[in-house]
Structure 1
Amino acid sequence: MKLFAATCCLCLLWTSTPASAQKPRLSGTGGGGTLLNLNGRMADGVSTTAVALTGAGELALPGLFPRWNVRAAAGLDLAFFAGTAFVGNVTLLVGVSRPFLFLSQTWEAGVTAGPALTVAPTRDAGSTWTSTVVKLDLRCDTCPLGAGVYVKLQQIWMSNVADPWMLGAGLEVRFDFSGRPAPIVMPEARRQTGGGGPVVKPVDDNDPDGDGVKGPTDLCPSSARGAKVEVNGCEAVADGMELDAGMFAAGSAALTATGEQECRRVVELLNQNAQLAIVFQVTAADEELANLRFMAISKKLQELGIPGRRVMSGTRAGTPESITLAFRLLL
């Protein structure tokens, strides 16, 4: 009955997904750690510490709630208590997660809970029963294999043993079969406004971007007009940098001449910061247009020599339309 109710909840969440939400992500997770039986039965010769292995299929639904993602996972857990017991759990967990930026990486903290069917052919109480599981996890979405840690608390509904609590902890990894990592929470970049129109200055062939760094000493000759640059003529990279609004015509996913110039500007920045990958936060009127614009930018950057693994997406639907940047360490 609990399994049926949880399945109905998932169906309702799926059918109520707004058009602006990110596409669902289907993943597989696996890991291992320790499981501690909190019953204090060592005096009875029952082992209280086990080696635990976990595996699950996970569905993530980003964008259902502001800044939160919905998760559902069906999995199998195995625990081996030396010489005394083997415990297996078939779990169905539902919960939420919150993505955030930290140390130039995208992290995701989550909490899920749900029922489990527990099989434990122990020497003193071999049987099948139900249990409740609560899991907390912290993952690095942009680290190799989405590595992370988890803590799990389980209450087994076992009539002949008082307070059958189990506490587990360990490491786990995630492999995405479809979809993309959860949306990246990025700072809003300030738009510079002024009362008058742009000031047009004659182009100096020896300093085409007008940053005051001339000739071969300017390693980034496509810097944005008026941008503060370093001695090598390049801007200091920072999350929230905004690209020119004229990269695309209204409703279009084709790069304009300004858009191609901005792509060259990004390439120069990446060439001077080989340890970084870049995230394009493309905001457009709808999700499809945002994705198409990111694909156009990614294709152009690859044509200009930037490997695809250094270019990441954080598209979303909304207004006003904009393209901002975030940077993270390339592992």
Structure 2
Amino acid sequence: MKRISILCCFVLCFLQLSAQEKGVQFQDLTFKQALDKAKAENKLVFIDCYTSWCGPCKYMLNTVFVLPEMGAFFNDQFVNVKYDMEKGEGPWLRGRFHVSSYPTFLILRSDGALQHRIVGSRPAEDFLECVKRGAKEETSQFYLDQLYRQGKLDKQQLISYRAALGDAKRNAELKQITGEEFKQLSDDERCLSRYWYIYDQEEINLEDERFAYLIAHKAEFDKQVGKEIVDKRIYDNYFERLAAIKSNVPVAELVALMKKQIASVDFEGKAEIFLSLCFVEARNNMDIDAMLDLLEERVQDLPRVFLWQTPFLDFIVEKGNKKQIERYVSLENRMLEVLDNEKLKKVVKDTFARYRSGRSDN
């Protein structure tokens, strides 16, 4: 029995080693050695920039890089190396190539010039697509960056450049590029599903001409792209903007714009967005009566991000009259009924106890 157990362990170890050999072979080389070897073998250098504490880095190493299809491509095309960005040459490489998030993957030419950057973990198929894009000079960031600066990108190259920027999560530039694509399209093309990526970006704010176009032509987008998809993009644009607004900033212009836009378009979740907008408007204007009217009628309908703020509207207690404070305090039980976090409920009870005693301090 003991011999069988030993044999099973041996077979398991052999299979694990065999699987590793089929995956990406990372070589124990210094940065200079990697460049020299790439030059001698006429290859590119692939660098995995990782840290010991990074979960997505471990996912890539243990789940993606071990796959045979990854090894087949990487080992043929690259000299593969990986460096901990907090040890050895890591900090120097981090500074040289401006690595600020993990994992980051670099594709370098043998002279040390950056050809392509990929930021973040991805499923194997998606990641391999990014790497293949970076391995070809004509679809790499380095090449397309140069053409873009020279104003020489044609329509197809603009699409390739968008993909390259997406690989590196250069979101501000991606927004700019897709904005330029939008301007190049005819009205007949702008609503087509194959160009939906131009609108489906978190970075597109409510003031962007693309969002205004989406709102104005929603019926056609519903036909071409699908109502559910279009509704979600509109809802997310509004909700993410509202949720990000801090309580101490003026909102008059934004509120006016949103009210005008929302009145002109129908989408799933419109009532919830309008309720959230009214909450933000009352909160930031410190409009006590408007806030109390809203809470008394609709507190149970507020999205969680705003619902969780309702017990901590100190301006009502600090600036309100006796009747207004009484109205606010009387809402405690209704708030507790809809809150779904026991620790928060305890904090709410303690907070309202202070309100009743005439103190709003923490």
Same fold (TM over 0.5): no
TM-score category by the smaller chain? under 0.3
TM-score under structure 1 normalisation? 0.25
| Higher helix proportion (structure 1 or 2) | 2
